[in-house]
Amino acid sequence: MKDCIFCKIIAGEIPSQKTHHEGNLFVSFLDIHPRAPGHTLLVPVEHHTWFYDMPDELSDRFFRTAKKLAKELKAKTGADYVQMSIIGTDVPHVHAHLIPRRFGDKLPAL
């Protein structure tokens, strides 16, 4: 989609700090307005507006990739857990927020 900011990031038209690539299926990058250190976005390379619009195989792999990335983020940041949020209203391209957290953190809402 030509006006999608995430499609432009994936294509390299907008700079980002990419953190992970899963073949040609997914890209992750640090959030430009992080809620916590390591706040990462996971997006499919193929444009889909809503997660339920993705083909089943892609959505299955998306969640498996999010799980793998969350474990890596937890280890790398020393977080107690990694919050995953799929909101979908800020950018019309499927994406998951993976936010390293500590118990008792007071973070602003997404």
**Residue 87 half-sphere exposure, CB side, CA atoms within 13 Å?**
10
Catalytic residue list contains 47:
no
Which residues partner with 101 through β-bridges?
Answer: 81
DSSP 105: -
Strands ordered across the beta sheet of 40-44: 18-22, 26-30, 40-44, 96-101, 81-85
Q: Which residue has the tokens 């209203």?
A: 89
**98 within 8 A of 40, measured Cβ to Cβ:** yes
Q: Which of 39, 48, 93, 95 is catalytic?
A: 95
Tell me which residues are annotated as active site: 95
